[in-house]
Amino acid sequence: MRTQVGIIGGGPAGLLLSHLLHLEGIESVVLESRSRAYGEGRVRAGLLEQNTVDLLTEAGVGERLVREGLPHDGVQFTFDGRYHRIDMREHTGRRVTIYGQQEVVKDLIAARLAAGGAIVFEAEAREIGGLDTERPYVRYVEGGVEKTLECDYIAGCDGFHGVARGAIPASVLQTFDRIFPFAWLGMLIAAEPPSEELIYSHHPEGFALFSMRAPKVTRAYLQVEPDDDVKNWPAERIWEALRKRLGQHEGLTVHEGELMQVGITPMRSFVTEPMKHGRMFLAGDAAHIVPPTGAKGMNLAIADISVLARAFVAHYKRRDSSQFETYGPECLRRIWRAEHFSWWMTTMLHPLMDASPFDKKRQIAELDTVMNSRAGRTFLAENYAGLPLAPWR
């Protein structure tokens, strides 16, 4: 099989790239190691920046997002027994929208299949080669049979554990990594969330985040030790911790319901440079990971794709390949700003169990400074709602 752009990974990044290329008449094939049902059913990230919503809408895959998404004009914080709200619309003119990653995947798969797009599910990429030639290839296994996809270029959108990053020689690849000394216990709860907007809670016993996936579905997180086990968190302990860490604030209540999913997520920051090697480009989690505190993971991946799609359009439609060389540097400027913001939010909101009394007081002072300073609120709102995104074509 041969195509113009071979895309490894059928998550939001790979599917969106395939769709944007299709809109410009550029052929692609998406290889996805998992089944369609897995991609459409796995609950993951759910906060979309205004730029992401605008891009998906412009690309013609935002109808259900606009109809069913939950727009938020602000974000809330509790700490030291106090409550604060930052109005993003007031400070930036932008908002965020809650719409699950699995819903974005559903919309993109439907759009690609309706257009006759090629998505090969349960196709595990095993080898990438020919990156320094005009005929790079991906060898993959589908139904127990090894096959080869030849293409002009390869987009590695296959996540942190995929094969794409490993195809870059170790002598070229640079990685920057930070592992945080805590993890998140995540719960999907069949109950109304405490508020219509996200609540970030700093508490001496640990951080908590109250989000949602629907008006009657709560997504909540608790800071735990990185080596903790779900078995240590029976329902009674979860409800007690959620109530304690939220605190007593007028109008905010933890509503109990069925714990539909419970799992532990490690916290890390990770960046790979370069994002281009020969005729292959890395995008999304294949190139970078951010701690979820800043809600940047899927948004960063989509920002990568906006830049990469523009480079492919310039190459195939105008015979201008110069943007291939600027793809990585342009993306990395945004990535490192997002890494900083996510690190800042994480370290500001998560208490360290071995912190000194000085550090505990300093952390409260930092939160107080941000919440009670217009400059601090604006900085947080600008980064949270999303930095400007250049047009993709």
Rounded distance, CA 310 to CA 285, Å?
20
Q: Which of 13, 16, 18, 32 is nearest to 275 (CA)?
A: 13
Closest CA to 198 of 302, 371, 105, 70: 70
Residue 124: helix, strand or coil by DSSP?
A: strand
CB 201 within 8 A of CB 45: no
Q: How far is CA 284 from CA 90, 175, 207, in A?
A: 30, 15, 27
How large is the angle between the packed helices 357-371 and 322-349, nearest 10 degrees? 120
Six-digit token string for 327: 């793809």
- What's the alpha-carbon Rg for the chain, to the nearest Å? 21
CB-neighbour burial class of residue 143 (10 A; exposed 0-12, middle 13-18, buried 19+): exposed
Task: List the beta bridge partners of residue 248.
Answer: none
- CA distance linking residue 76 with residue 87, whole number of Å: 9
Amino acid identity, residue 203? H
Strand 28-31 relative to strand 2-8, pairing: parallel
Which residues are designated catalytic? 72, 200, 292, 296, 384
Angular region, 122: left φ>0, alpha ψ -120 to 50, beta rest: left
Tokens at 328, concatenated: 């990585």
Report whether the peptide linkage leading into residue 136 is cis, meaning its omega lies within 30 degrees of zero.
no
Count the neighbouring beta carbons within 10 Å of the beta carbon of residue 260.
14
